[in-house]
């Protein structure tokens, strides 16, 4: 059987399998069903490499494109931690200059990343603050803020993160509001402009971190703190996740900037 190169990386322990497919011929010619099955096999933590998703590294014209799929093989518009790992790979392979902004295409448009040593900042774009919905787990239900970060999020403030339970199954949510599923964040306050969260990501289950989710949480927290629309000056929040700490800044220009570490930890070949 043919063997394909892969890398493994993570951003605050949100982990991914990277498939360097620079000319788009190794994996890009696979039918969608076959590619989804390959992603599920790669992300299997017992029989595969293990990961919350797969990042296929593809050249698209004059820039790189992040073809991202969740662990269940489904397509996703954007991944805030994944795109930082993607940028780290480009820099380490000499495919991008860390002294310059790095544009990367996604299904949610082109994102710009800045590398500063161990930290990478991703411009996630403009948030969209929508209405309220409800989410529930066995024994608990909450009102949640709907925040769109290019992908949908439902942010619920809770008394204790443990109230969310095991999160192996997707929390109940309003299917009319989220017809394609939703990422659900459970949040507690830790201090001034300091929150902690857990998340169930659609297509992946509970993960150790979610970058776009941290962005949505920061926006929901800032709105609850009285920020209406883009703030008059940049506002930054610390967001603790099970896998570490992220900094999220809502700029006066209405951009969400996600800053945190991203590392590549392994590379090899696989016949999956």
d(CA 49, CA 190): 35
Q: Which of 85, 86, 81 is nearest to 105 (CA)?
A: 86
d(CA 131, CA 196): 22
Q: Among all residues, which ones are annotated catalytic?
A: 79, 210
Residue 238 to residues 55, 111, 195, 217, Cα–Cα distance (Å):
26, 22, 6, 10
Q: Is there a contact between 154 and 185 (Cβ–Cβ < 8 Å)?
A: yes
Calculate ∠ Cα 191-231-209, nearest 5°: 50
DSSP three-state, residue 107: coil
Helices (H), the chain: 32-43, 80-92, 211-224
Q: Which of 136, 142, 240 is nearest to 191 (CA)?
A: 240
d(CA 117, CA 131): 38
Helices (H) and strands (E) in the chain, counts: 3, 18
């Amino acid at each position: 059987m043919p063997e394909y190169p892969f890398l493994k990386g993570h951003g605050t322990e949100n982990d991914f399998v990277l498939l360097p497919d620079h000319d788009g011929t190794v994996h890009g010619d696979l039918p969608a069903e076959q590619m989804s099955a390959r992603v599920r096999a790669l992300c299997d933590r017992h029989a595969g490499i293990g990961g919350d998703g797969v990042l296929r590294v593809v050249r698209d014209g004059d820039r790189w494109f992040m073809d991202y799929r969740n662990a269940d093989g489904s397509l996703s518009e954007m991944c805030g931690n994944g795109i930082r790992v993607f940028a780290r790979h480009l820099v380490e392979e000499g495919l991008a200059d860390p002294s310059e902004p790095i544009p990367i295409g996604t299904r949610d448009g082109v994102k710009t990343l800045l590398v500063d040593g161990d930290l990478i900042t991703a411009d996630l774009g403009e948030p969209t603050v929508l209405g309220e919905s409800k989410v529930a787990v066995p024994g608990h239900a909450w009102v949640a803020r709907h925040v769109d970060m290019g992908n949908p999020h439902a942010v619920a403030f809770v008394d204790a993160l443990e109230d969310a339970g095991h999160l192996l199954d997707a929390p109940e949510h309003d299917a009319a509001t989220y017809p394609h599923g939703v990422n659900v964040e459970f949040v507690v306050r830790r201090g001034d402009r300091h929150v902690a969260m857990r998340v169930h990501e659609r297509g992946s289950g509970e993960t150790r971190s979610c970058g776009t989710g941290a962005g949505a949480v920061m926006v929901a927290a800032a709105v609850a703190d009285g920020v209406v629309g883009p703030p008059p000056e940049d506002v930054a929040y610390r967001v603790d996740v099970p896998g570490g700490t992220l900094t999220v800044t809502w700029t006066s220009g209405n951009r969400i900037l996600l800053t945190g570490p991203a590392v590549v930890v392994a590379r090899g070949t696989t016949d999956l």
